């Protein structure tokens, strides 16, 4: 996929179309030209990833009518209009309707190119945010983000699906970097409240008075609703809930108790509470300083996220995925690791869990780009490693290491060859039947590599 900025040019004058197209292409864009508004509307949709540059004065549907159609299609589409000399009133009206900007004839082509680049940056951010919002409302996609085939991660996915349907309050606990926030979003997206508000508050990020306003109001801005009100009919996610003061715990308990009692004297708020904590380890009793009545109300259902060191072969699979992603970002080859390095990755204690593994993968790719090799030095130097690279968390049989390494080799070969089985057979010197058996054994599906 090209990284060039896509631009759609609309102008009824052929010479003007060609000159704008040529200049923008020379400026690093990928420009398409259309002789009228109708032709453009047939060629794009609401997810068009680029910028529209259109003349205002055109026969048939003019630029202003086109702008209205484009805004109706997607208010976030950046439209740059080319106006004639003296059309100030039209330009002002265009900006009021939602045009990104306008440029007046005769114009400096470099200024147009600069406008297009700035509009493209805004468009990219808007589409990234849209994609993120879609992901956070797609429970199936979120569950796939909990990548891995180990028994612990399979059980975790099943637990999320079960608990998401219960609609009771949930406590998610586990070490830092184990995906607790992702699980909270998945619980919401897979449950009966999907499509409703998901309101996230980090209780450790604000002083008590600000947190009180954030949760319960009143806000300094009367137009801003408190988090509990915004979460009505949806989900309220409180991260680092154990840091709440006793006074705020009491207020939260009152709101939860009132909702459960359905007190008709004051309309109760209806929301599901998901509490997230990396400090609560003993999930059968309230931690010190935490109200027991509140604790057992929020911990009606519980999920404990597994640390990375307990996920076995998932470590290699995740490491490979992170390396492939960073290699694409940095424009270089992903590092290939030896059997010894694979064992080191599996045996490392990973106190920082997924985040730490991602950091090591990025450094491995940067090291590869410099022409250097080796994973052990990265594990020793990693700031979270604490010189424990080879401290084995649990004895693992040789067969487990061998199978994990074998799966990694086949996964890498499939990825390099884009699922071409014949090429993988040649690279690994495996007959088709053997390769098919091993792919089935390790849950490797060819279609995922195409």
- Render pLDDT for 197-212 as a digit per residue (tens, 0 to 9): 999 999 999 999 999 9
Q: Which contiguous run of DSSP H or E holds residue 361? A: helix 353-369
Distance CA(353)–CA(407), nearest Å, equals 21
| Minimum mean pLDDT range among 5-9, 226-230, 385-389, 446-450 | 385-389
Assign 191 a pLDDT band (cuts: 50, 70, 90): confident
Distance CA(407)–CA(209), nearest Å, equals 53
Assign 1 a pLDDT band (cuts: 50, 70, 90): very low
Of 6-10, 86-90, 255-259, give the range with the top mean pLDDT.
6-10
The CA R_g of the chain, rounded to the nearest whole Å, is 28
Residue bearing the bigger pLDDT, 403 or 168: 168
Residue bearing the bigger pLDDT, 35 or 406: 35
Assign 175 a pLDDT band (cuts: 50, 70, 90): very high
Domains and CATH numbers, the chain: 5-135 (3.40.50.2300), 139-306 (3.40.50.300), 309-449 (no CATH)
pLDDT at 389 over 50: no
β-strand 51-55 against 79-83: which pairing, if any? parallel
Region at 214 (left for phi over 0; alpha for psi -120 to 50; beta for the rest): alpha
Residue 260 contacts by C-beta under 8 Å, 6 or more apart in sequence?
none
What are the φ/ψ torsions at residue 104 (nearest 5 degrees)? Answer: -100, 135
| Minimum mean pLDDT range among 96-105, 265-274, 411-420 | 265-274
What is the number of other CB atoms lying within 10 angstroms of the CB of residue 302? 17
Q: Judge contact between 81 and 91, C-beta under 8 A.
A: yes
Q: 206-213: long-range contacts (C-beta < 8 A, 24 or more apart)?
A: 208/245, 208/247, 208/248, 211/244, 211/248, 212/247, 212/248, 212/251
- DSSP letter at 72 equals H
Distance CA(14)–CA(35), nearest Å, equals 7
What is the number of other CB atoms lying within 10 angstroms of the CB of residue 450? 9
Which residue shows structure tokens 């137009």?
A: 223
Kindly report the average pLDDT of the chain as a whole number.
84
pLDDT at 133 over 80: no
Distance CA(415)–CA(408), nearest Å, equals 10
- Render pLDDT for 369-379 as a digit per residue (tens, 0 to 9): 988 878 878 88
- DSSP letter at 308 equals G
Question: What pTM does this model have?
Answer: 0.61
The pLDDT, as a whole number, for residue 394 is 45
- Render pLDDT for 136-148 as a digit per residue (tens, 0 to 9): 556 666 777 788 8
The pLDDT, as a whole number, for residue 447 is 79
DSSP 115-183: HHHHHHHHHHHHHHHHHHHHHHT-HHHHHHHS---SHHHHHHHHHHHHHHHH-S-EEEE--TTS-HHHH
- pLDDT above 90: percentage of residues in the chain: 38
pLDDT at 315 over 80: yes
The pLDDT, as a whole number, for residue 445 is 83
**CA 202 to each of CA 140, 194, 214, 251: distance values in angstroms, whole numbers, following the listed order:** 25, 21, 10, 17
List the beta bridge partners of residue 304.
173
The pLDDT, as a whole number, for residue 390 is 39
β-strand 198-202 against 170-173: which pairing, if any? unpaired
The pLDDT, as a whole number, for residue 388 is 46
Q: Judge contact between 37 and 66, C-beta under 8 A.
A: yes
């Amino acid at each position: 996929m090209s990284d060039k900025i896509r631009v759609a040019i609309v102008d009824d004058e052929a010479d003007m179309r060609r000159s704008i197209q040529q200049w923008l292409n020379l400026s690093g864009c990928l420009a398409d030209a259309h002789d009228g508004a109708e032709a453009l509307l047939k060629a794009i949709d609401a997810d068009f990833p680029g910028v529209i540059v259109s003349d205002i004065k055109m026969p048939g549907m003019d630029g202003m009518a086109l702008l209205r159609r484009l805004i109706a299609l997607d208010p976030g589409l950046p439209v740059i209009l080319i106006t004639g000399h003296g059309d100030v009133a039209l330009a002002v009206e265009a900006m009021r309707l939602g045009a990104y900007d306008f440029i007046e004839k005769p114009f400096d082509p470099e200024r147009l190119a600069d406008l297009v680049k700035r509009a493209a940056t805004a468009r990219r951010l808007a589409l990234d945010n849209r994609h993120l919002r879609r992901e956070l409302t797609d429970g199936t996609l979120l569950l796939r983000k909990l990548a891995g085939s180990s028994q612990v991660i399979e059980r975790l996915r099943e637990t999320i699906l079960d608990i998401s349907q219960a609609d009771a309050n949930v406590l998610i606990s586990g070490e830092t970097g184990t995906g607790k926030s992702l699980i909270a979003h998945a619980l919401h997206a897979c449950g009966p409240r999907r499509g409703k508000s998901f309101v996230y508050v980090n209780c450790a990020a604000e002083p008590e008075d600000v947190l009180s306003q954030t949760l319960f109001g009143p806000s300094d801005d009367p137009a801003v609703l408190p988090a509990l009100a915004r979460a009505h009919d949806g989900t309220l996610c409180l991260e680092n809930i154990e840091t709440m003061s006793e006074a705020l715990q009491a207020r939260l308990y009152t709101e939860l108790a009132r909702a459960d009692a359905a007190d008709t004297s004051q309309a109760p708020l209806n929301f599901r509470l998901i509490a997230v904590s990396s400090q609560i380890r003993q999930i059968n009793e309230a931690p010190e300083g935490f109200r027991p009545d509140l604790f057992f109300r929020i911990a009606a259902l519980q999920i404990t996220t597994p640390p990375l060191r307990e996920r076995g072969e998932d470590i290699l699979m995740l490491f490979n995925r992170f390396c492939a992603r960073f290699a694409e970002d940095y424009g270089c080859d992903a590092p290939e690791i030896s059997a010894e390095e694979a064992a080191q990755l599996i045996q490392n204690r990973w106190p920082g869990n997924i985040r730490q593994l991602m950091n090591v993968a990025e450094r491995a790719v940067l090291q590869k780009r410099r022409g250097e090799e080796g994973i052990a030095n990265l594990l020793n130097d990693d700031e979270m490693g604490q010189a424990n690279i080879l401290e084995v968390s649990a004895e693992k049989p040789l067969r487990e290491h061998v199978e994990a390494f074998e799966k990694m080799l086949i996964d890498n070969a499939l990825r390099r060859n884009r699922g071409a089985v014949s090429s993988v057979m040649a690279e690994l010197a495996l007959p088709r039947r053997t390769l098919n058996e091993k792919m089935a054994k390790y849950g490797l599906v060819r279609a995922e590599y195409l």
